[in-house]
Structure 1
Amino acid sequence: MKIEQIYTGCLAEAAYYIESNGEAAIIDPLREVGTYLKKAEKAGAKIKYIFETHFHADFVSGHVDLAEKSGAEIIYGPTAKTAFKSHIARDGEQFKIGKVTITALHTPGHTLESTTYLLTDENGKDHCIFSGDTLFIGDVGRPDLAQKGELTMEDLAGMLYDSLNHKIKPLADDVIVYPAHGAGSACGKSMSKETFDTLGHQKEVNYALKASTKEQFIKEVTDGIMPPPQYFSKNAAINKGGVESIEEVFEKGLNALIPQAFEDTANQTGAILLDTRDPQVFAKGFIPNSINIGLNGQFAPWVGALITDLQQPILLITEEGKAEETITRLTRVGYDNTIGYLDGGFESWIAAGKEIDTIESISATAFETAASEAEVIALDVRKPGEYESEHLEFTLSRPLDYIDDWMSEIDPKSTYYIHCAGGYRSMIAASILKSRGVENVIDVAGGYGAIKGTNLKRTDFACPSKAMKV
């Protein structure tokens, strides 16, 4: 028996490869399915099943493409309805993969079809569960994504409590928990950086498993949940209906454009100019009106949070050789309309004598000096919880996630200092403000981590008059 966790840090997502006696199964596959096909081919195994723990909202699954290329059967849990060929498992239904058995345990709560898959080894011992978004390490799945009709978030939280207590907690303490996500995913609120654990340890440390009553559980699980990113519902719909092959997306997107052709295409299509270089490299020079979302951060989730139209044409400015990786990561969250990239990168734009723009980026010490000499407008674009934990006394909470909600407050003639935790999100915000006509934006390099080394006054509680309501 072989179990391999295939973890993708950008999405904080875990897929799984299971193999036994010449047969294999994949759990929660990503869009690019070549990885799974190669693993099975190398092992001389046939992929028999593709198990989906639920209709994912935070990424586009590769289930349909993988089924077509491998001949495997797609399995969903009870109540799921798909527009493609699939097998809807009964609660308790078993599936054989070589000498191991997978049992479908219907565990609604995160979504109505959410299902945990219990793996029993060849000796009949329960070995592990693939818990999807039902149970994370340190957390459980958010219960607000599948509200329908009169069904409320609290109703779903109650279902989740029953699922955990009736289906998962009765399992042996040495059963390994393999979740679909880790820290950084918006599918929960306080996930651990660990990506697996024993069920027994989770019973000891996971707040949601320690709740003594359903009422307490509902209160704790629903408290402090932020609105989901706008792309979640769109990705869930894609996963129910299926999506085009990634090869077709590459054929359209891997279109190298010389600077003049790049500029002409941008003007003709209204494409977003997405620059994926390092934030500090971007600040020193970029194509006017381009947006910086660095490839070395949580690239795909931020694209999903900030670009509202999945069909929006996108033109890329990347580091040399990074166009294909960028397109791959865009497709993971449903952005399939990349129409080209700048051949030769930003250097070719400069060589062609094209116009460029810059964003001033200053050190935390320079920011301290500026704030000490005069009153400044400083925007803290971290999440509300980060701001409430600790912030500068004079900064305004303006979370990047909700930039469209607070953009109307911005005066294009004013000067804005922007910081986040480390400098990644602040450059995204600064580039968006620049693209919308706000000329005087100044990024604080190193973010709050660097600012803490200054003498600027901080507070560890929210200022109601300054914290934006979202």
Structure 2
Amino acid sequence: MFFQAIQTPGLAHVSYVLGDGGEALVVDPRRDLDVYLEVLHSQGLRLRYVLMTHRQEDFVLGTTSLANLSGARIVAGKHPITGYVDLQMGERERLQLGHLSLLALHTPGHTPESFSWAVFLDSHPKHAWGVFTGDALFAGETGRTDLSDPERTYENAALLYDSLHREILPLGDQALVFPAHGAGSMCGSHIDDRALTTLGIERHRNPVFVLGRDDFIAHKLRERLPRPPYFSRMEELNLRGGFPLDRDPRTVPPLLPRAFQEASRDGLIIDAREPEAFAGGHIPGSLNIWMKGLPTFGGWVADLGTPIFLVMPEGVEPEQAVLSLARIGIDRVEGILAGGFGAWRNTGLPIERNATLTPNELHEHAARYQLLDVRDISEFESGHIPGAHHAYVGQLEELLPGLGLRPEVPVAVTCGVGYRAGLATSILLRHGFQNVSNLLGGMTAWKKLELPVEQGAPHPGETPAPREYPTGDEIYYQ
């Protein structure tokens, strides 16, 4: 028997290769396939099946591409949504792979077509070795239940609770749990940062098993996770099994600064450096999305047809960023700034910058600033700087007109540690705000210093009472 979990950086996605007797299957593959082909080749395995747990929302599947390339059959649960597959399996039907069998278990709630797949060794047919749960069950949490229809969150939470208790919990404490995502995924809230878990651990820790049915439903109704706009595009693409990656990420051309400047006029510049580097100097109009944030926030600021031009951090290979965007369907990366921002600076081209603040500096001079918190609503409610406005960073452009922020007055932006605030800062600069500061360390540092915090939601339709703010360069550069 062979087993390997394959992590996708930035997406918190996990796919799997399972093999026995010279045959193998791959579970929920991503769009770039080289890693699977290399594993199969190194282990001398013939790919027989590409197995789906459900349509994925946060990345482009490589299901049909891998099947077409290898001759493998696509397998999914029997549901109308997954009609393009080669083999649809009904509830409790079995799929044989060498000396292993996989039991199909319908576990709706996250999505209606979600199936989990329990793995049994022929030598121990009564005890499940493990189970591929997709987004139904994570380490310490379950998948969100608002994606298919936010108006049916209650109903979906009830479905998820029932299906996991009926189909998954009886597999036994010994069963290993193999979810499609880990900590940091937008497909679930507060997923534990554990690489390995079992049903025994989850039975004692996971809300779906610890809470009663009504309390679990209430728990899911409180999640209110942001729904990135690209999720809808991913669902549409993945209902067809995804689509192939038909461009080598290494072929994106490096452009010298003046050529980069000219080519990017009709596109979007994404600067993937750290927020501190971006603050010190960046190309006017560029958006700051740090490397690990590209697979998530790239889909908030760009769509499938947006021409993208990248400014890379020093020492990072450009294909990493190109692949990160390609995994969420953004393929039009049309240029990399050759020599990085240093080359732009040395050419004498225009430079924009923003300020930074430490928590103590902001606390001492809070009256001078408009405060903006760009974390999600649950984070904001759990504790924020008194008087802060709130808008989730992904929705900032949409909500900005109603926030009551004045472009000529200094704004201090905060998030968890400063990364999302870096993106928010660059958005504000693009909208004409003149003095914008990123609170470095964010609410993490603010709370560690035991500075004032208040809890609760912002009042609908209201913003903090206006104050008289000083303006001028002396504030901006402080």
Same fold (TM over 0.5): yes
| Amino acid corresponding to residue 196 of structure 2 in structure 1 | F
2:400 is equivalent to residue 407 of structure 1: yes
Secondary structure at the residue paired with 2:400? helix
- State the match for 2:147 in structure 1: 145
d(CA) in 1 for partners of 2:455, 2:103: 47
2:159 is equivalent to residue 159 of structure 1: yes
Map 1:301-340 → 2, pairs under 5 A: 301-304=296-299, 306-319=300-313, 320-340=315-335
Q: 1:41 to 1:446 in 2, by over 3 A?
A: same
- State the match for 1:232 in structure 2: 231
Match of 2:276 among 272, 276, 280: 280
User: Does the 8 Å CA contact 1:249/1:337 hold for their aligned counterparts?
Assistant: no
Q: 1:4 to 1:274 in 2, by over 3 A?
A: same
Structure 1, residues 193-247: CA drift from partner, whole Å, max 9, x if none?
Answer: 113311122112111123334x443333222323422111110111112444323
2:166 is equivalent to residue 172 of structure 1: no
User: What displacement does 1:413 show?
Assistant: 1.5
Map 1:123-138 → 2, pairs under 5 A: 123=123, 124=125, 125-138=127-140
Unaligned runs of 5+ in 1: none
User: What displacement does 1:446 show?
Assistant: 1.5
User: What displacement does 1:356 show?
Assistant: 1.0
2:445 is equivalent to residue 450 of structure 1: yes
Structure 1, residues 258-280: CA drift from partner, whole Å, max 9, x if none?
Answer: 1122111112xx21101111111
Secondary structure at the residue paired with 1:392? coil
d(CA) in 2 for partners of 1:376, 1:347: 31
- State the match for 2:375 in structure 1: 382
User: What displacement does 1:451 show?
Assistant: 2.3
Secondary structure at the residue paired with 1:191? coil
User: What displacement does 1:155 show?
Assistant: 2.5
User: Does the 8 Å CA contact 1:3/1:16 hold for their aligned counterparts?
Assistant: yes
| Amino acid corresponding to residue 186 of structure 2 in structure 1 | A
User: Does the 8 Å CA contact 1:177/1:198 hold for their aligned counterparts?
Assistant: yes
| Amino acid corresponding to residue 441 of structure 1 in structure 2 | V
Structure 1, residues 418-455: CA drift from partner, whole Å, max 9, x if none?
Answer: 11111111111001111221121011112122223556
2:52 is equivalent to residue 59 of structure 1: no
- State the match for 1:357 in structure 2: 352
- State the match for 2:470 in structure 1: none
User: Does the 8 Å CA contact 1:397/1:466 hold for their aligned counterparts?
Assistant: no
Secondary structure at the residue paired with 2:295? helix
Match of 1:416 among 411, 423, 432: 411
User: What displacement does 1:97 show?
Assistant: 1.7
| Amino acid corresponding to residue 450 of structure 1 in structure 2 | A
Map 1:239-254 → 2, pairs under 5 A: 239-248=238-247, 250=249, 254=252
d(CA) in 1 for partners of 2:459, 2:254: 49
Secondary structure at the residue paired with 1:61? coil
Q: 1:467 to 1:199 in 2, by over 3 A?
A: farther
- State the match for 2:258 in structure 1: 260
| Amino acid corresponding to residue 68 of structure 2 in structure 1 | E
Secondary structure at the residue paired with 1:298? helix
- State the match for 2:43 in structure 1: 43
Secondary structure at the residue paired with 1:386? helix
Q: How many residues align?
A: 459
d(CA) in 2 for partners of 1:87, 1:301: 32
Q: 1:82 to 1:118 in 2, by over 3 A?
A: closer
Give percent identity, aligned residues only: 32
User: What displacement does 1:80 show?
Assistant: 4.3
Q: CA RMSD in A?
A: 2.2
User: What displacement does 1:141 show?
Assistant: 1.3
- State the match for 2:434 in structure 1: 439
Give the alignment's TM-score, normalised by structure 2: 0.90
Unaligned runs of 5+ in 2: 465-478
- State the match for 1:86 in structure 2: 86
Structure 1, residues 372-431: CA drift from partner, whole Å, max 9, x if none?
Answer: xx4421112122212221222232223213202321133222210111111111111001
Q: 1:462 to 1:407 in 2, by over 3 A?
A: closer
d(CA) in 2 for partners of 1:105, 1:454: 49
